[in-house]
Amino acid sequence: MNKTSSVFGYAVLTLSLALAGGLLYVGYRVTAAEYVFGRSIREAAANRGDATYNSQIEVIRLNPYDVRYRISYAQTNLAIANSLATNEDLTDQDRAIIQQLVTQSIEQGKGAVALDQLRVSSWAVLANIYRSLINVATGSEQWAVATYQQAVALDPNNPQLRLAYGKLLYSLNQFEAAQFQFEFVVSLKPDLANAYYNLAFAYSQQDKLLLAQDSMTKVLGLVERDSDDYKNAQERLTEINNLLAQRPPAE
């Protein structure tokens, strides 16, 4: 074997060992991240917020490329921020921590979207984050609407996604746009009582009382008669009927 062949052989061997070592290292980090992620799920189930938070930081450090980890960490940040915000007499330090948690939640939601822009669940989580910040952070309404639009565009026949989007539009007093979403939902899933319930309210806000009456009547046919949902829908239907009764007779 000449010197050139020998050098080439050593180079190939070195490269092979380096690649093998790299793959082993990556494999270790992926496996370790999955183990820690499982631990964080157990901690969350046990309502150990701090432990969940710290475990998810470790998970993302080990493997920052898994969308699930980003989504979970985003939701954990938001949940802790919401929990802290319910405390009375917040200190300046508390407010700073809440702001940091909210910022991290948004960043992780954006990070999940960036990793897989075609993953609907990432867009839905990010939209929900923005929605929860309405009346708290300026511009959240527009970001929530835009993000839901993107999610719906990716999965237009997802009834739960459109239902959530419709509820957001309703909360923003965009009743006609909300009506469209709820009507789309019932066309996709005509046995979904919640969609008819929300549709009835969207109609009522536009003084379309006969349509509201019809939608709320459909709710009564879809829920158990002895349930709180049935009682609630019955009360709402009575309110609609009373409004109709107050209308002057048509000439």
Query: In this predicted model, what pLDDT tens digit does every residue of 189-242 receive, in sequence order?
Result: 999 999 999 999 999 999 999 999 999 999 999 999 999 999 999 999 999 999
Alpha carbons 40 and 10: distance in angstroms, whole number: 44
Count how many Cα atoms sit within 13 Å of the Cα of residue 216 in the half-sphere of its side chain.
Answer: 24
Which pLDDT belongs to residue 195?
97
Which pLDDT belongs to residue 56?
87
Decide: pTM greater than 0.75: yes
Confidence of residue 25 (pLDDT cuts 50, 70, 90): very low
Q: What is the rounded (10 degree) CA torsion for 162, 133, 64, 43?
A: -90
Which pLDDT belongs to residue 40?
83
Does pLDDT of 5 surpass 70? Answer: no
